[in-house]
Every structure is written in structure tokens, then in C-alpha cells.
Amino acid sequence: MRVFSGNSNPQLAREIAQYLGLQLSSATVDRFSDGEIKIQVHDNVRQTHCVIIQPVSSPVNDSLMELLLLISTLRRASAAEITAVIPY
């Protein structure tokens, strides 16, 4: 299993991964110069279960788009399962 985080609350994701006995997987969630979101996954996720921890808090639009783009990126990287954990 691999645990990923967006920019909304990376500390929470680190604590959850540590509780599970895992390390937070390496991914870059950044912005292009025109403001668009750029996602790069640095770990091999082929045929693995991936968990994304991303609260959809303020700014809601940015947090939600990061979550959706992380899901899309992991699907294109051939992840077997993707679970989104969206804490309130």
C-alpha cells in the first residue's frame, strides 16, 4: 500500500502513514507558471493499492482539483486500487 498527500494537510497524511507503519510516498503537487496544477508521482504504483489523504478545505476548488488530478495520475500509472480519504 502507498499513501499520498496533496497540499491541503500534508502533516495529517504523514501522521496517518506513520500510524500505519508506512512512509508517505513521493509525489510532487506543484503549480505551473500559469497557475495550473502539476502532479508528478515518483514511486512505482503499478498494481498497488494507493491511498490519497486530502481534506477538501479552503480553498475548496484548489484542494478538490488536486485530489481529482492525483486520482487521474495514479490511474494512468496503473494503480490497482485508489482510495480517497477526505477528512472533514
Instruction: Please give the single-letter amino acid code of residue 43.
Output: D
Mean predicted lDDT score pLDDT of the chain: 95
Q: Read off the pLDDT of each residue in 10-20 and give the average, rounded to a whole number.
A: 95
Percent of the chain with pLDDT over 70: 100
Q: What predicted TM-score, i.e. pTM, was given to this entire model?
A: 0.91
> Which residue in the block uniquely carries the three cell numbers 486500487?
81
Q: Domain containing 36: what range?
A: 2-85
**CATH number of the domain within which 40 lies:** 3.40.50.2020
Structurally, how many domains does the chain consist of? 1
Percent of the chain with pLDDT over 90: 94
Q: Looking at the predicted structure, is the pLDDT value of residue 58 above 90?
A: no
Residue 52: name the closest of 36, 63, 37, 38 by CA: 63
Rounded CA-CA distance 80/9 in Å is 25
